[in-house]
Structure 1
Amino acid sequence: MAKPLRIASINTNGIRAAYRKGMGDWLAARDIDILAIQEVRASTDDVVGLLGDEWDVLHDAATAKGRAGVALASRSKASIHRVELGDVEFDSAGRWLEADFEVGDQIVTVVSTYVHSGEVDTPKQVEKYKFLDAMTQRLPELAEHSKYAVVLGDLNVGHTKLDIKNWRGNVKKAGFLPQERAYFDGFMGAAGEAIECQDGTTRTGLGWVDVGRRFAGDVEGPYSWWSNRGQAFDNDTGWRIDYHLVTPALADKVVDYKVDRYPSYDARWSDHAPVVVDYAL
């Protein structure tokens, strides 16, 4: 049996800082085939220099220098890549990077994405909703383009109460607003069906699968981000906001899912933990 395709996602919170703290050791030991990176916050030359010659690197930097930035690093070169999302006047730079990879006789489409964090009643939240609207438009197109497609990265929304430890204290804050979670109700709702959403609206289901929730079941977490405040990491008071959203055909190929939680607070090289999924294609 062929080795499963191992795809990982990590918000590095700055890849240069992550490497100084130990990201390279993790990557060397993890046998990743395709790595999606968010919050790169560095130049393409920096990314290539850190990862090494064995990786093919695609990088889309943010318009504002030192902000956001998404990348895809792979053992084999992508056949094509795209960075546009939504209307032409919408600035998605540094937040959406698609690539097609040939895996055997199949095409696997991988998207590294970094959704805005948002902030209630500010322009940041307006931009977040614009991005989620653009995703709503693009996901069906991706599913039409490839039966094996995965959108992965820091989506900055906890979908349900199981995805945030302290959900009661965050219902009115960006990241767990009912209006945000409604988008995810639509993303993961049964394809073509009318979905009653958590904010009282109705959306048409797009039929994508949340690998983490399907694999873990109805349990709290497993969380992938922890605040630096207090004892959040030590107490596992976290958020599950790093996702692998996949087409149904790819969901059927999942054989393993793991959040690589750090052994201790001091061992962290990012405030996010990598999310690693094996796909048996």
Structure 2
Amino acid sequence: MRIISVNVNGIRAAQRKGFFEWLAKQDADVVCIQETKAQEHQLDTTLFYPGGYHCYYFDAQKKGYSGVAIFTKQKPKRVGAGLGWEHVDSEGRWIQVDFDKLSIASLYLPSGSSSEERHQNKLVFMDRFLEDLSAMRRKRREFVICGDWNTVHKEIDIKNFKSNQKNSGCTPQERAWMDKLFGERGWVDAFRAVNQEADQYTWWSNRGQAWAKNVGWRIDYQVITPGLKDKVRAADIYRDERFSDHAPLTIDYDL
């Protein structure tokens, strides 16, 4: 099974940059998209519903903001939008498809980079979300949670580690949360299951020459339950074209 996760930073902008032409060549079974920045009624069905896929969108109430989507070749047994609490549901930050014993979700975790208030808002979200993740672990199914988690885990996951310690997305508190996620809570970073190399980034600032110089952050993940760890076969970050400030993350599973 091939799963792609990508923050498109506006699905209409990504479409204009050739995202759907690229996607048609990837033979992906499931595609998880974040930050659609559109209301579904604004989307042309001939452009934003690729052939061969069942397409599900979950929009933020605020126009032009957030939003997630999932495209899947196999029709799911259930589609769930939101997690039952306001910060997720009103801002369109979670959509999930369920198959027999597997659930796949598209997550857009808040960014805290714009202000201290937004950073604190993100930390509150993370604490609440961690309890949802623990509840998922207790279910008799495997999970793949794809998305923009807006947080690096370790020094290897960011080019300029020391200078970003006070910046949201790289603070000690956020990285400790990731330690807990991948430690005592038992979740697995699918990318690192098969790739331990440095300089593997998924997001680059639009300032300066960050993209050209590969001064990036790895903040996009496919986070999986431990039962899937040995099923990860390959991982790729696509950089030959640029559809947004994030790169698509493709992971192949033996499922």
TM surpasses 0.5: yes
- Match for residue 216 of structure 1? 195
Structure 2: distance between partners of 1:89 and 1:32: 32
Amino acid at match of 2:15: Y
- Match for residue 10 of structure 2? 14
Residue 31 of structure 1: CA displacement?
A: 0.4
Tell me the alpha carbon deviations over residues 193-242 of structure 1, each in whole angstroms, 9 at most, x when there is no partner. Answer: xxxxxxxxxxxx1111101122111x323101111111111111111000
Residue 91 of structure 1: CA displacement?
A: 4.5
**Alignment map for 1:1-281 (pairs within 5 Å):** 5-45=1-41, 46=43, 48-49=45-46, 50-85=48-83, 88-92=85-89, 93-102=91-100, 107-119=101-113, 122-189=116-183, 205-217=184-196, 219-262=197-240, 267-281=241-255
Amino acid at match of 1:207: G
Structure 2: distance between partners of 1:210 and 1:123: 29
Structure 2: distance between partners of 1:120 and 1:40: 19
Q: 1:42 to 1:120 in 2, by over 3 A?
A: closer
Structure 1: distance between partners of 2:61 and 2:88: 8
Amino acid at match of 2:194: F
Identity among equivalent pairs (%): 40
Would you say the 8 A contact 2:152–2:217 is kept in 1? yes
Tell me the alpha carbon deviations over residues 20-45 of structure 1, each in whole angstroms, 9 at most, x when there is no partner. Answer: 11101210110011000000012224
Residue 85 of structure 1: CA displacement?
A: 2.8
Q: 1:184 to 1:21 in 2, by over 3 A?
A: same
Structure 2 gap ranges (5+): none
Would you say the 8 A contact 1:10–1:36 is kept in 2? yes
Tell me the alpha carbon deviations over residues 34-77 of structure 1, each in whole angstroms, 9 at most, x when there is no partner. Answer: 00000001222417442334221111111211100011111122
Could you tell me the TM-score, scaled by structure 1's length? 0.85
Structure 1 gap ranges (5+): 190-204
Tell me the alpha carbon deviations over residues 120-176 of structure 1, each in whole angstroms, 9 at most, x when there is no partner. Answer: 863212221122112210112222224321111100001111010011111001010
Q: 1:6 to 1:146 in 2, by over 3 A?
A: farther
Could you tell me the TM-score, scaled by structure 2's length? 0.93
Structure 2: distance between partners of 1:228 and 1:120: 15
Would you say the 8 A contact 2:68–2:108 is kept in 1? yes
Question: Aligned pairs, how many?
Answer: 252
Structure 2: distance between partners of 1:233 and 1:117: 20
Would you say the 8 A contact 1:100–1:108 is kept in 2? yes
Amino acid at match of 1:248: P
- Match for residue 194 of structure 1? none
How big is the alpha-carbon RMSD for the aligned residues of Structure 1 and Structure 2? Answer: 1.7
Amino acid at match of 1:271: D
